[in-house]
């Protein structure tokens, strides 16, 4: 009888241990699942930085310069995009805390505005160039130091660089000469074959559309926003009229959320009229 009792007790213990083992296995699987999901989220969030770290160590001068300059170019474009194409606007309207530059302005009532930036694309190019000049020099110095540390014999002669707004991209090309040699590997950049950095961005398209709107403002005193949206289906054009006769235009790419904001004051009416 005692033996039967012990066998029964042993069987119960085995069942309990089996249940505990199953629970432990389930718990382990849950923890592993959580770790995998968390790792996936972290990789998704930080992959641009991780990939940049790998890229900047690459023995490729153009990859190095692309990685080094890209953030600064993007930052300068974002700043001027909400300020009418200027990093430090001189004649502007305060809208939602931003200094939005007038691209067309008329101080007097009833009269159409005068275009303030007739060469807007060139102006934006020069603004980007001014903003990234310091970073360009720093990146070139870092490029030379990085290749020296890898055993290359290097030559760096700094020269001017250009910024070009082109359809759907911004291209920065430096005329600086960079030569690096090690064993059977060599790099030679300079002059027309200078190092180039390319950033995907449609600031060029925004600039051309803004100039079309400003041309209409200068000629007729207003612009019809729906015309542009009917033609460019991925474009949203907003116009916000202010109490002093100013109009703030906001162009937004529906896919990327990139935008350009600018102001105009044309055929304004005195308070109480219009």
As given in the structure block, the two tokens for residue 26 are 């389930």
Whole-model pTM above 0.85?
Answer: no
pLDDT of residue 10: 54
Q: What is the pLDDT of residue 22?
A: 56
Write the CA distances from 9 to 1, 2, 16, 19, 20, integer angstroms: 12, 11, 11, 15, 16
Q: What is the reported pLDDT for 47?
A: 41
- pLDDT for 5 equals 45
- Give the separation between CA 75 and CA 151, rounded to whole angstroms: 33
Contacts 24+ apart (CB under 8 A), 252-260: 253/202, 256/202, 258/81, 258/201, 258/202, 258/203, 258/206, 259/81, 259/82, 259/206, 260/81, 260/84, 260/85, 260/203, 260/206, 260/207, 260/210
**In whole numbers, what is the pLDDT of the chain averaged over residues?**
86
> For the chain, which ranges sit under pLDDT 70?
1-58, 274
pLDDT of res. 190:
84
Quote the pLDDT of residue 59. Answer: 80
């Amino acid at each position: 009888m005692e033996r039967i009792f012990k066998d029964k007790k042993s069987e119960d213990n085995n069942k309990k241990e089996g249940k505990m083992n199953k629970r432990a296995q389930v718990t382990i699987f849950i923890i592993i699942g959580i770790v995998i999901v968390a790792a996936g989220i972290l990789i998704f969030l930080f992959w641009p930085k991780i990939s940049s770290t790998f890229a900047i160590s690459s023995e490729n001068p153009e990859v190095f310069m692309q990685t080094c300059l890209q953030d600064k170019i993007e930052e300068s474009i974002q700043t001027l995009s909400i300020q009418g194409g200027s990093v430090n606007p001189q004649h502007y309207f305060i809208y939602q805390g931003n200094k939005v530059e007038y691209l067309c302005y008329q101080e007097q009532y009833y009269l159409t505005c005068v275009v303030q930036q007739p060469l807007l694309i060139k102006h934006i190019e020069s603004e980007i160039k001014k903003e990234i000049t310091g970073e360009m020099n720093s990146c070139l110095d870092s490029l030379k130091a990085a290749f020296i540390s890898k055993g290359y014999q290097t030559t760096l002669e700094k020269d001017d660089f250009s910024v070009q707004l082109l359809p759907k991209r911004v291209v920065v090309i430096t005329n600086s000469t960079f030569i690096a040699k090690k064993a059977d590997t060599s790099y030679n950049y300079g002059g027309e074959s200078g190092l180039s950095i390319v950033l995907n961005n449609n600031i060029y398209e925004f600039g051309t559309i803004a100039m079309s709107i400003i041309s209409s403002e200068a000629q007729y005193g207003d612009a019809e926003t729906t015309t542009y949206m009917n033609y460019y289906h991925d474009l949203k054009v907003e116009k916000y009229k202010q109490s002093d006769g100013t109009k703030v235009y906001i162009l937004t790419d529906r896919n990327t959320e990139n935008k350009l904001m600018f102001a105009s004051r044309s055929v304004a009416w005195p308070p109480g009229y219009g």
